[in-house]
Amino acid sequence: MKILFVYNRFENLGIEILSAFLKSKGHKVELAFDPQLFNDGYLTIPFLAKKFDSREKILRKIGSFKPDLVAFSVLTDNYLWALNLSRLIKKRYSIPIVFGGIHPTSVPEIVMENNCVDFVIRGEGEYSLLNLVIALEKKKSFSKINNLVFRKNNVVITNELRNFISDLDSLPYPDKDLFYRFIPYAKKTYTIMTSRGCPFNCTYCFNHMYKKIYLGKGKYLRKRTVENVIDELKKAKSKYNFNFVSILDDVFMFDNEWLTDFCKKYKKEINIPFRCIGHVNFINEENTLLLKKAGCKIIQIGVQTTCDYTRKNIINRHEINETIEKASKIIKKNNIKLEVDHILGFPYETGKEQIEAAKFYNKIRPDIINTYWLKCFPKTEIIKHMIKDNKLTKEDVDKIERGFGVSYISGGSVKNIKDLQKFSSLLNMIPLLSQNTINFIIKNKLYFLVDFGKPFLILTRIIKSFFWKDIRLFEFLTFYKHYIFGVN
């Protein structure tokens, strides 16, 4: 059987693993990639986006490859893109289409309202997608395929979920070449996951939704063996000669015994700079020193808010500012770059809370501050909280579940989104200006005069690209160079 994945903008590790899994069972896999030039969430220029639209190219590829199944991996953020492209595919070809990923897992019944989607796969997709391919090939019934949602006599049938894959080592290493042909800059940084799941239950995140639907279906938080991870990296290093590793685990350092073994073997056998995502509750002197010696250059932590009320009553996080400050000191003491994430727009937070956040970050001095708007995703607990407090309507929830997205902008002294953008700019500037300068800006409310944080944000990314070996800006520039000029 021939399977064509369709994806947009970035490398997708999940698709790479699915591709490797299907290929290991004898199937042919291809990728149709939409770079969405000038309409990628970072740079939007409508008339250029129209000129560089890739949809017709994707349709032609489908015509030449002649797949037996077209597969989309779907987040809420690319759900509407996937739906629109699926409709175009159905108008031209009679090919079954399957949606998998977080958004279809959350609201499969809503996704199946669209006739351009023939199947939904909920949750982990390796075995379910394989069994769907086999059923299509042999014209067998879909009724016993775990995780599958399908139509029978115009009735939507939702099959039972299979147990979690307990042995992650049993899965093949990701098929990186699938994406590297389209985005060659990705070869510079090797992305990897050493685990699946997260130990926490933040109300704005999909993880708690996964835990609920998979209740009784096995252990949620699973780890690959150190030997398996190192073997993948050794083979990839030999093949791609990358110069940086990005570990994408939701929380990388929750198992000290595993981490100790990994760091020793990584230093000895890989010895390439890397970054990872940590959590302040797991950061201590011992494991941070291990990471430093192994070659860790950046630790990213999700702070999200410095307001205790928001943490305890809205987002179900239980760390405190003192713990964050202590973890930050440990990271910086070991000469590891500290990257923090901050979310703007939580209910009840006003300008006062954002200024307190700015003061706190100015105290701990992260090397980069990423700011995001609160975006509600389907079936997350924060939605229930906001409905209860009349912060979201039923109409808002319907929009969220249909992929339109609703960002909540809080009231109080934050009157509109422009004010929030200025707070965002203030936070972005903190790593690049001195403590005294930031204190002066805050004291005199200069952040309200003009949104002058964007140039600093761009400058920050340039610095990261060339000095921290974090490749986001490099990716961005190389991405456009490759697609516009055809140069690698």
Per-position DSSP letters for 265-283, written without gaps between them = HHHHHT---EEEEE-GGG-
> Is residue 309 a contact partner of residue 353, using CB atoms and an 8 Å limit?
no
Residue type, 457: L
pLDDT single digits (tens) 302-325 = 999 999 999 999 999 999 999 999
In this structure, the strands spanning 195-196 and 222-223 are: antiparallel
Give the span between the Cα atoms of 12 and 393, in whole angstroms: 33
Tell me, what DSSP letter sits at residue 313? I
Instruction: Please report, for residues 83, 274, 375, 401, the alpha-carbon distance to residue 76 in angstroms, rounded to integers and kept in the order given.
Output: 11, 29, 10, 8
Q: What is the pTM of this model?
A: 0.90
Polymer length in residues for the chain: 488
- Residue 218 is predicted with a pLDDT of 95
> Is residue 49 a contact partner of residue 39, using CB atoms and an 8 Å limit?
yes
> Is residue 461 a contact partner of residue 167, using CB atoms and an 8 Å limit?
no
- Residue 424 is predicted with a pLDDT of 87
Task: Provide the pLDDT confidence category of residue 471 given band limits of 50, 70 and 90.
Answer: very low
Q: Which tokens in the block code for residue 487?
A: 């140069």
Lowest mean pLDDT among 142-146, 352-356, 387-391, 476-480: 476-480
Question: What average pLDDT does this structure show over 10-35?
Answer: 96
156 has a pLDDT exceeding 60:
yes
Tell me, what DSSP letter sits at residue 162? P
- Average pLDDT for the chain: 89
Instruction: Work out the angle at residue 303's Cα, subtended by the Cα atoms of residues 300 and 305, and round it to the nearest 5 degrees.
Output: 155
Question: What average pLDDT does this structure show over 161-178?
Answer: 97
Task: Provide the pLDDT confidence category of residue 95 given band limits of 50, 70 and 90.
Answer: very high
In the chain the domains, ranked by start, together with CATH numbers, are 2-158 (3.40.50.280), 183-482 (3.80.30.20)
Task: Provide the pLDDT confidence category of residue 59 given band limits of 50, 70 and 90.
Answer: very high
pLDDT single digits (tens) 102-115 = 999 999 999 999 99
pLDDT single digits (tens) 234-256 = 999 999 999 999 999 999 998 99
Instruction: Please report, for residues 37, 185, 366, 474, the alpha-carbon distance to residue 483 in angstroms, rounded to integers and kept in the order given.
Output: 8, 12, 34, 14
The share of the chain scoring above pLDDT 70, in percent, equals 89
Q: Which tokens in the block code for residue 447?
A: 């952040």
411 has a pLDDT exceeding 80:
no
Name the phi and psi angles at 340, rounded to 5: -125, 150
